[in-house]
Amino acid sequence: MSEIVFDCPECKSPLKVDESGSGMVVDCPHCSKKIQVPRKPTPIAVVGSAAQPPLPPSRPSDPKPGANIPVFKNEPILVLILGFVTCGLYLIYWNIKMAEVLNAVAGRTVISPVAAILSGCCVPVNVYYYYLAGGTLTQVGALIGKPELKDKSTMMVLLGIFFPMVAAMILQGHVNEIYEKKA
Ligand SMILES: [Zn+2]
C-alpha cells in the first residue's frame, strides 16, 4: 500500500497517512487540529509507487582486438557471382559487412560505415577501402596464424585499383579462415 506524505498545514509536522485516507479530515497527532489529507498525491509525495526499476547493470565494454567478430562467411566465388548478378549492389552490402568484420578484428573503427557504403559507388573510395582493409591484414594474419599477411597490404591496394573483385575474394578467403580457426 502507498502512503501519502505531507506536512500538517497547521504545525508543519511531517505526516504519513495511508492512501485510503486521501481527502479525509483527520486530527493531526502533533497539534491535534483538524486537517485534511491531500486528495491527489503527487508522485513525490507517494512513497512506494514512484520507485524506479533498477537500471540494468552496464555491460563492461572492453573492445579487445579480435573479440566479438561478426560472422560474415561466404564462398569467395559466391561474392564474385553475386557481385555480377546484382550489378554491384551486393558489393555495397559486402563492403559494409566486411568493414564490420575488419573493424572488429582491429578492435577499432578502421573503415567507417560511410567509407564502406561509398566504396561501392565510387572507384577512388573503393581503392581507399582496400588500402584500409589491407592495413588490417596484419591483425587478420595474427588471428589465423599467418603473419606473412602483413606484407600484403600493398597488394590489396593494387588489386583494389585493377581487380577489386579479386581483392574482395582474397579478403573474404582470409576472413573465412578466422571462423574456421575458431571452430
Ligand atoms: Zn499539526
How many percent of the chain have pLDDT more than 70?
84
Residue-level pLDDT at 42: 54
Model confidence over 5-21: pLDDT tens digits? 999 999 999 999 888 88
At residue 122, the pLDDT reads: 80
Per-residue confidence (pLDDT) for residue 10, from 0 to 100: 93
Distance 4 CA to ligand 1 centre (A): 15
Find the 48 Cα to ligand 1 centroid distance in Å: 24
Provide CB contacts within 8 A for 35, sequence distance 6+.
Answer: 8, 9, 10, 25, 26, 27, 28
Residue 33 alpha carbon to ligand 1 centre in Å: 6
State which amino acid sits at residue 27: D
pLDDT tier for residue 181 given thresholds of 50, 70 and 90: confident
**Distance between Cα 32 and ligand 1 center (Å):** 6
What is the per-residue pLDDT across 107-140, written as a single tens digit (0 to 9) for each? 999 999 999 988 877 888 999 999 999 999 999 9
CA of 40 from ligand 1 middle (Å) equals 20
Mark the residues whose beta carbon lies below 5 A from ion ligand 1.
8, 10-11, 28, 30-31
Determine the pLDDT at residue 151: 80
Bridge partners of 14? 7
CA 171 to ligand 1 centroid distance, Å:
80
Please tell me the predicted confidence (pLDDT) of residue 68.
Answer: 82
Q: Of residues 43 and 143, which shows the higher confidence score? A: 143
Q: What is the DSSP string of 110-139?
A: SS-HHHHHHHTT-HHHHHHHHHHHHHTHHH
Instruction: Report the alpha-carbon distance of residue 68 to residue 135 in Å, rounded.
Output: 20
Nine-digit cell at 64? Answer: 579487445
pLDDT tens digits for range 20-58: 888 899 999 999 999 999 886 555 544 544 455 555 555
